[in-house]
Structure 1
Amino acid sequence: MDDQEIQSTVESILGPGVKVIDCEKKSSICEEEVLLINGVPIKLEGNDSVAIKEAILTGQIPSCDLLNQILIRAGILRAPVRLETSLSTKSSIVTKEEVTVSRNNKVIDERSRETHESNYYVSSTSEIWEPVGMIKKPRNPCYNSDQSRSESSASSDQGYTTNNSTNNVLRGEEEEQKLYSKYGESVPDCMQQCLNQLSNLGLSVPEVNPTLGNLSQTSGGNARGPGFSSSANICGSTTSMVNGANLESQDIRDNVGDRDHALVYRDGNLVSGSLEALVQHMVPTEEYYPDRAYLFAFLLSSRLFIKPHELLSEVCALCEHQQKLGGEGGKERFQRFVPRLVQLLAEWTETFPYDFRDERVMAHVKSITQKVASVDATARQEVSALLQNLLLRLTALERYEEGLARLTTESGAQQLSQVDVTELCPSAMILAQQLTHVELERLSYIGPEEFVQAFAKESPHLETSFKEMKKTRNLESYVSWFNRLSYFVATEICKHAKKKQRVRVVEYWIETARECFNIGNFNSLMAIIAGLNMSPISRLKKTWSKVQSAKFAILEHQMDPSSNFSSYRSTLKAAMWRSVGATDERQRIVVPFFSLLVKDLYFLNEGCSNKLPNGHINFEKFWQLAKQVTEFIAWKQVTCPFEKNSRVIAFLQASPVLTENALSLASFECEPPDSNPEKERFKSLKSELNAQ
């Protein structure tokens, strides 16, 4: 028989020298899709099935009319319900190989072998829906799921409102330039690096309304996040935020002296206020302590308008004034007030410890410590423990930053390594695990305030600019890590002169990317894809012709930039859903595509920094930014459960990589230029090399 594949399969089972007379192949595909709504199975037929499947796979919500029909059929649209929609897609490929040996029409031997390959994908969304025609009110004062979902698709019908703050249509390069001209002459350095990373992937950057006017009105307590530590738990009730008042009116003002110092509430949620009123609102008393969600949101975004040391100074002054500490009986009042003050300081140091690297902030802390120590022995011990924990965190941060500086120096001083990554770490799975170690370590040292300060220090129109304070080096080094990993992938391929070796390395990186996807390490996944898509690598046609690239095509589809990365955002939501309910540490890992996260936060920062026409600060934008950053905090607090290989990690971070020009030159040496532009480029690179 001429079919070599069948011949080799039979020989692998029966041994060499067997002659195949006849062969029969059978294949069958069975697909089953079930939509469960609160555990009730709904049979999908015709166009409805197609519409719902397409919407869920793209991270959107189907039209209200369609969902209403399904909910009515399920018999549950008669009262406010939480709608949990999940799509499970399972594809199975079963390969069965049978060999029958017969002699004189008599079967003397019969053997079979089966292989199974299963792929399982789960997508899930959760919403709270009101009966048709009812006026929607917040269900949870800490988190309004309907109005704060930036990832839901924009639709409105019969009182239902969901919003899409991210799924915008990709624009062309010309519109991209127009977009950034709206923000002034310069874009923050880290933002520019992220845009370059998106462009290097062959993508155009989506245009987003700079005023963020299309974002939903977020409830004033949605700044919670899973996995947040107890002392930094920022989930609180709206009633505590308004000093016990259960507010249901559409627009209520909490006066702090006059109209200019008012806090404005809508449906019980804080939506705006003057800076003075917002500062006053975070100052505790003997009977009142600000809601933790409010504290986190305000401490995060207030630095757009007031520096941390100035804020702490005002808080201290307000405490002294309202407690009348300078008058008769001031010491007794201060003794009763001390626990509240220590609690405020503890939460600040826990959630934003990097603020206390500023000597001006520590000067106020020293003053507070001295006053507390003089009146309360218990509080003195609490403050001592607080400062000890703060010192440990800042010391660890300093050591980490020194280590990053050494890595940069070492990688620049060495010659190109002759060690091959596939020899140092033959298993793609283990390499993906080591990459996850690097990602989670670098994530863990990024302070939440860095997302705000990265843009504040570059914005000339803000009232307080952070140009004199360099506090975003950890965020910037993490953005640079993405670039390094992309160039590392390209370098490892181009340093091999033989095509067979390049093919092996390319397939190794594709397998590593697939393992990163399975882990939930989307940042390394996208960096590897970016490296494989770099021009010096993508032009190696002879190399790619020998690569089994089907897996790579699947990964590229998952990270497809169309519809503002809708496929990736759906996958990210599935990973977040898996992480929240996971008991296995391996299932809790979520490493987001960082450049896209920074881009999303950049536009939220723009919304936060723009005051309302009456001069108030738009606190709704503060809530939205706090919600996104809180999700990030949950991700970075996960401990990497994989065994650590220090040698591989050092190789990934410190081995030299080729520059863009050096990569192009190495690529032309691997496969000669085959077009006039490539020939001109090669000639130019050789001239530059000879001139050095």
Structure 2
Amino acid sequence: MATQNGFHGVMNGVTNGTADIPMIDEEDALVYQDGHLQAGSVNALIQHLVPTTHYYPDRTYTFAFLLSSRLYIQPHQLMQRVCQMCIMQQNLYSEKVTKESLGKFGPHLIQLLGEWTDNFPYDFRDERLMKNLKEITQRVVVIHPELRKEVGILMHNLIAKLSGLQKYEELLARINAEVAQRLLNIMPNTDIYEVCASPLVLAQQLTHIELERLSMIGPEEFVQAFCKESELDRTINDLKRTNNLESYVQWFNRLSYFISTEICMHLKKKNRVRMIEYFIDVAKECVNIGNFNSLMAIIAGLNMSPIQRLKKTWEKVNKEKFEILEHQMNPSSNFGSYRSSLKAALWRSEGAVEDRERIVIPFFSLLVKDMYFLNEGCANRLADGHINFDKSWQLAKQVTEFITWKQVECPFDRHPPVLNYLLTNPVFSENSLALASFECEPPENHYEKDRYKQLK
């Protein structure tokens, strides 16, 4: 049965003194069903986030709200509203306010801001949020001098995360610049097998790249990808400040084209056979590691039409192992086989003793697709205009799993020459790949002959 409570009808069952509770309209109340928060107005949900002397929001609520709120309010607007509520309710700028009168409000507020900066540090690339953060924490420190160290640690950790993001973006820019430079000499004089003959080692190096790029994706980037212009008041200052999600998708595409390029650049059939079987073995090692994203990129590369049309080459390939891998990533039944393998990897990860057993790298495009359909299938607002917070819980659950996966450190040794080759070696464009394929095995039908003429 649905019930309405004021914003301090807290999950923990704690009720505040009346001095802590501002007047709130009934239409601003939160709606619960069987003790579970289902909906509420934006104002009531923000109020439910704001701590007081006797109240602190549940961590799961804080994360779910900060994650999903950007579907209907910009982060800098939310920060401004939170600061205004704190100032008004606690009289923070009154000359009469004291540490004793505030009680635990100061530590509670710093704890809340700590959760925000820890879980969503990229929000603070916005100077407006950073300005509000500095002002409100400085005011709290004036009243609570003993919190100065805690605020210092909060700011240090936040700046370290933002600095790490900037360094990562600079690294990607350098990699892209090297790729562009090496494109001037597109004809490779070596292949990945000569650089790394071990399928296991290559799978481990792919895992390094996957985990590094996965770790840089902010949880809010999934939600920002779904934001609709009509829901939000956007200005030039509200443009997306990160592209880590897009960079990760680009890596998947590059790896697929890399696989096809490494095969098609060999004019000798026996070398193409060797490369195909090598990549099948790499894919198998990726399964054993729990690296499903590289696995799918390899399968996608092997299934590209310039590779699939090489019939004489495939005749010499031991296709049994490849067919097993393809079955594992078969899209039928909504990728049922893959989802079963993912569950097994999650089960292994939860009971892991060694770091290498903790690795779970999901097929990223499917993860994004699942979140997209969750977003599209659930309205942001209910018929009465209230925020559909049940959707927020579901988004938070999926993103929390992702956070667990991305926090795993890669336990394998790094091999810089192999990593450099994977990241910067030139890959053929779609047309170049098609042309190289025809050079390997000539066109067989009218369509292929016409296509070959167009490409030459």
**Please, what TM-score do these two structures have when normalized by structure 2?**
0.93
Structure 1 residues 255 and 579: CA distance shift in structure 2, 3 A: farther
Q: CA contact under 8 A between 2:380 and 2:391: conserved in structure 1?
A: no
**Cα distance in 1, alignment partners of residues 9 and 78 from structure 2:** 25
- The higher radius of gyration belongs to 1
Structure 1 residues 327 and 360: CA distance shift in structure 2, 3 A: closer
Larger strand proportion of the pair: 1
**Cα distance in 1, alignment partners of residues 26 and 242 from structure 2:** 37
**Cα distance in 2, alignment partners of residues 595 and 475 from structure 1:** 10
Q: CA contact under 8 A between 1:255 and 1:263: conserved in structure 2?
A: no
**Cα distance in 1, alignment partners of residues 378 and 105 from structure 2:** 32
**Cα distance in 2, alignment partners of residues 279 and 313 from structure 1:** 11
Matching residue within 377, 397, 405 for 2:145: 377
- Is 1:342 equivalent to 2:110 in the alignment? yes
Q: CA contact under 8 A between 1:448 and 1:633: conserved in structure 2?
A: yes
Aligned equivalent of 1:460:
229
**Cα distance in 2, alignment partners of residues 476 and 641 from structure 1:** 26
- Is 1:504 equivalent to 2:271 in the alignment? no
- Is 1:429 equivalent to 2:200 in the alignment? yes
Aligned equivalent of 1:364:
132
Alignment map for 1:382-401 (pairs within 5 Å): 382-401=150-169
Give the C-alpha shift of residue 335 in structure 1: 6.3
Aligned equivalent of 2:5:
none
Q: CA contact under 8 A between 2:110 and 2:137: conserved in structure 1?
A: no
Q: CA contact under 8 A between 2:125 and 2:241: conserved in structure 1?
A: no
Q: CA contact under 8 A between 2:329 and 2:335: conserved in structure 1?
A: yes
Q: CA contact under 8 A between 2:435 and 2:452: conserved in structure 1?
A: yes
Give the C-alpha shift of residue 454 in structure 1: 1.6
**Cα distance in 1, alignment partners of residues 394 and 336 from structure 2:** 20
Q: CA contact under 8 A between 1:490 and 1:532: conserved in structure 2?
A: yes
Matching residue within 618, 637, 640 for 2:388: 618
Larger helix proportion of the pair: 2
- Is 1:263 equivalent to 2:30 in the alignment? yes
Matching residue within 330, 333, 336 for 2:97: 330
State the secondary structure of the residue aligned to 1:672: coil
**Counterpart AA for 1:285:** T
**Cα distance in 2, alignment partners of residues 551 and 255 from structure 1:** 66
**Cα distance in 2, alignment partners of residues 465 and 608 from structure 1:** 23
**Cα distance in 1, alignment partners of residues 9 and 77 from structure 2:** 29
Aligned equivalent of 2:362:
592
Aligned length: 441
Unaligned ranges ≥5, structure 2: 3-7, 16-20
Structure 1 residues 239 and 628: CA distance shift in structure 2, 3 A: farther
Give the C-alpha shift of residue 609 in structure 1: 5.3
Q: Deviations over 1:296-351 (max 9, x none)?
A: 00000001111111111111111111123345632333464210111011111111
Q: Deviations over 1:88-110 (max 9, x none)?
A: xxxxxxxxxxxxxxxxxxxxxxx
Unaligned ranges ≥5, structure 1: 1-136, 138-216, 218-237, 246-253, 687-692
Q: CA contact under 8 A between 1:453 and 1:471: conserved in structure 2?
A: no
**Counterpart AA for 1:530:** A
Alignment map for 1:42-81 (pairs within 5 Å): none
Give the C-alpha shift of residue 455 in structure 1: 1.9
Provide the aligned C-alpha RMSD in A. 2.0
**Counterpart AA for 2:151:** V
**Cα distance in 2, alignment partners of residues 579 and 464 from structure 1:** 42
Structure 1 residues 514 and 327: CA distance shift in structure 2, 3 A: same
Aligned equivalent of 1:605:
375
Q: CA contact under 8 A between 1:304 and 1:464: conserved in structure 2?
A: no
**Cα distance in 2, alignment partners of residues 466 and 500 from structure 1:** 58
State the secondary structure of the residue aligned to 2:384: coil
Aligned equivalent of 1:307:
74
State the secondary structure of the residue aligned to 2:226: helix
Aligned equivalent of 1:57:
none
**Please, what TM-score do these two structures have when normalized by structure 1?**
0.62
**Cα distance in 1, alignment partners of residues 93 and 403 from structure 2:** 40
- Is 1:627 equivalent to 2:394 in the alignment? no
Give the C-alpha shift of residue 421 in structure 1: 0.3
Aligned equivalent of 2:18:
none
**Counterpart AA for 2:243:** R
Give the C-alpha shift of residue 258 in structure 1: 2.0
- Is 1:294 equivalent to 2:64 in the alignment? no
| RCO comparison, higher one (Cα < 8 Å, 6+) | 2
**Counterpart AA for 2:124:** F
Matching residue within 43, 65, 83 for 1:316: 83
Alignment map for 1:233-248 (pairs within 5 Å): 240-241=10-11, 243-244=13-14
Aligned equivalent of 2:341:
571
Aligned equivalent of 1:649:
419
